[in-house]
Chains A and B, each alone.
Chain A
């Protein structure tokens, strides 16, 4: 708790910048055209599908390192006739796993379910046929003959945001590991979280150094508010998978991978303009915190977007203020009055969810709440929105992952829906981040081959494009480690996409036809977005 208001401000702002700006470098005409669906997209590591090895050659080596075939109970459950889900079956037996109807377009296959509403790809091929090959490894940290151990570091104590960070992140990873272990693990070894470290907000560097020093973990997972340990982990060559709200700490560090990347903070955003148009709004008010550069840049990017695209779409910036005091200790009365005077009918902010509440209440007080739509960069929190009742009706939220409100027909999502609740975790952003991070790690393992080590995992991930089975906008790790300023196509997302939801009656609803709405990344020109489902 002994940290500063400013930290909180910066953090909130970063989270929201990630949301608002993450997917969205604006194009530069000269940039090479991206192949729309990033051909090198790696298959998610999704292992449940053992169609290629129906009899589950889960090589869980015995202690003598012999490759004993050892079908476990879950494996049994995983044979083609998956009427029942793997072992720790959560609630409804007939829900999640069965829904895994179709195979990954990129290749991962699924146990053929009973409910087949969509065409089933006939012969799914496991892109990683060697996933159960055991090779004796010496001197790889965290790897024994039967286990692959990782460290999870994050903020639990003194979390000034009061959100569920480390516990949920941990649950997401653990759920994914259970899921993989259930299908026989990787390379004949079980995935184990060997170290779980609470950085108490201020000790991230120290905890990271403990992991490096102890040398007991193959990789590190990080969901922290103050990422002081990312540099040391990167320098020590530890593959590190993060809740990447700290763009600047991940940039130019090839061992730091995130659940997404922060593309180009300063670029214009067609997604933002599109949401304004969805709200049929014309006069946009913009608010940001003066204390945080991130927030200011984000606010400025919104304004630039309206300036660029607005004239053709009949929009203008009617009010702009990026000097709000963090936490709005003085309320927001004068600013709202000025926005009403300026005829504002849409307000986008680069502020935290608590400030959104203050803002909405002030709008209510001044009697204009139902005439003004809000865009929330950081309010995708079911409990928070439910508590607000109908206060946020008609507002929009921007996300960096496919909102849960949209059907994403990927095995990864289906397994998430099953395994995370089975581990007692909420279906929420932070468990999904852990889940995606874990999948990225396993993907790296599988890409690296059975004779993996830290460096080979990093290197092989840095050759692929990864989309978490459609849960995130594909990231090309071969070029997206680098900062984008000024805009350079080489280091940005190939497609600029957004997944947004609307709020009604204290809950979120999807309004997009597909999980993602995308614009081509090679041009800055306005166009209507293409509804996209990376899983489909």
Chain B
């Protein structure tokens, strides 16, 4: 079966230093996959290669069997790769709903300059309904008309997720969603994420160093260390592997 998202033999070097060394990874449809590793292991670099922010020196990135190596970020996004950010990236001076509306408009591709000029560019009722559905799903429908500047970090994360969902992703790449959140907030986020994922059925690639979230949320996990994959497999097994434990912060708690 063709993988939904696959990286094969990806290597990247920054001024001579190997950041990624022949990394291969795959995410299948509907799957929840984790990517973990200590700081500086190359998680972000791999993430950027998958998304097209960074061009790997060698290796290929495939989406639904197509080589997307030369595609710019926005084209990969349209092809089904949604994402969130570690440092929240929202569109300032807009409301929560507007975030989702613009993503919906880009997805359905019905916007055009001439339509704007004749006044047909405003949000349509169907679009608004679609957005409100997602907001409800995420449990932030009460915030729809809030300017994003007034949101808490956890709420902002959910807005990012909602925005990514509006692009109709086949795979959602979550970049350290727990960063900056306390344990309760993280737990709440994890619950929401799982609920939404189950109802929508897209695949998830979670980059995270909060191992409890990874353990809780993912089915399968990849472990990166110093640019190389040192383990992969079902989450529970991998996390139990002593080699992984040694490499990764020496030790950690698995709840």
The answer on direct contact between A and B (beta carbons under 8 Å) is: no
Interface residues of B (CB under 8 A from A): none
